[in-house]
Amino acid sequence: MNALELNTVRLAEDRSCLEILDQTLLPGTVKVLRVDKIEDIFEAIRYLRVRGAPAIGVCAAYGIALTASRVETEDYEAFLASFLEQKKYLASSRPTAVNLFWALDRMERALRANADRTVEEIKTILFDEAQAIRDEDVAISRSIGEIGFGLMKPGDGILTHCNAGTLATAKYGTATAPMYVALEHGMTDFRVYCDETRPLLQGARLTAFELHGAGIDTTLICDNMASTVMKSGLVNMIFVGCDRVAANGDTANKIGTSGVAVLAKHYGIPFYVCAPSSTIDMSIRTGEQIPIEERDASEVTEMWYKERMAPEGVKVYNPAFDVTDHALITGIITEKGLCRAPYEQAFKELFIGQEGK
Ligand code: MRU
């Protein structure tokens, strides 16, 4: 299996539905869902059939292009009103990854910029915009990969958390992009440690599946083994993805990432966040303002187990993300370059002349 050939989400050729690789079934079953109703697109995002910040953005963009194409009106204002209602609904599927809102806002801008066109023409423009978001995502991940690859040395051990892989994007992933780019450059002499990533096991089910399938030397560890692996000198650097970066460089990513960063600091291991620039949210100053999704207790107590693994009625706290303090981050790798502290200044330079940032 070559992970790079998997299509996380795409529009069917006849534009009748979205084809979503159901990640809740991986690694055992590779099944593509065909969804066309907005409720099913919402459900696929909410329940992590499609997940990972960039992939959620791509899915929402295709999704709203599809559902807007079904709106039966020739009146621009009526079309815009339906679009905005659908946008609000899809935007409520998950709260943390800013790419969801970024992609939907970009779709709205494409619609409004073409207010003088017929509704039929606007529908085509929306499909084209969603496709552009998807294609740009591939190019962005590839650039992040090249920059990250530049930091790698033969023989390195790399630790990653959750799945910021090709399954979380349109292709290459963000944290995994340097690894895939290394393979493309003929460098195979590196090892990857994947945190299993409790409670939903994205590291075990998805990252290990991808990287092992790609022929990369992959070792799966439980989350609580990261310290011992780092202490043993097996890890030279850490690459993780992110769901939202605040203006000061504080970074939200899958729960457990901040613990990895604290350990990395303790052991003096460089900790890099791989972030498409669309993940940087200059409208919020610090990580404290990033909304953190809380998910169902059953994910901790019974999901993935044969039997329930906790007493009935016990209280469960299940935040899906945490925020890594910018002081723990060695660098943030965007497609435009490697940013180092002070991050606010570095981001401003990145976005010079760019609208909406
Ligand atoms: O809950 P998930 O599986 O959507 O969380 C995914 C992550 O936290 C990823 O690391 C992040 O979205 C970056 S994906 C390139």
CB-based contact 248:347 (threshold 8 Å): no
* Residue 6 near residue 21 (C-beta atoms within 8 A): yes
How far away, in angstroms, is 273 Cα from ligand 1 center?
12
CA of 52 to the centre of ligand 1 (A): 4
Q: Name the residue with the closest Cα to ligand 1, atom 6.
A: 52
pLDDT of residue 356: 58
Taking only the tens place, the pLDDT of each residue in 163-178 is 999 999 999 999 999 9
Q: Is 75 a catalytic residue?
A: no
Burial of 146 (0-12, 13-18, 19+ CB in 10 A): middle
Choose one of 200, 202, 332 to mutate for the ligand 1 pocket test, by most ligand atoms within 8 angstroms of C-beta: 202
Q: What pLDDT score does 170 carry?
A: 95
Q: What is the DSSP string of 190-257?
A: -EEEEE--TTTTHIIIIIHHHHHHTT-EEEEE-GGGHHHHHHTT--SEEEE--SEEETTS-EEEETTH
273-295, pLDDT tens digit by residue?
Answer: 999 999 999 999 999 999 999 99
Contacts of 242 (CB under 8 A, 6+ apart): 53, 164, 174, 251, 252, 253, 273, 274, 275, 279
Q: How confident is the model at residue 337 (pLDDT cuts 50, 70, 90)?
A: very high
Q: How remote is the CA of residue 320 from the centroid of ligand 1, in Å?
A: 9
Could you tell me which residues are beta bridge partners of residue 21?
A: 32
172-204 pLDDT, tens digit each: 999 999 999 999 999 999 999 999 999 999 999
Angstrom distance (rounded) from CA 37 to CA 280: 30
For the entire predicted model, the pTM comes to 0.96
Catalytic one of 22, 135, 217, 243? 243
Angle at 198 between CA 28 and CA 239, to 5 degrees: 90
Residue 242 has pLDDT above 80, yes or no: yes
Give the pLDDT mean for 67-71: 98
Are the CB atoms for 181 and 149 separated by under 8 Å? yes
CB 194 within 8 A of CB 203: yes
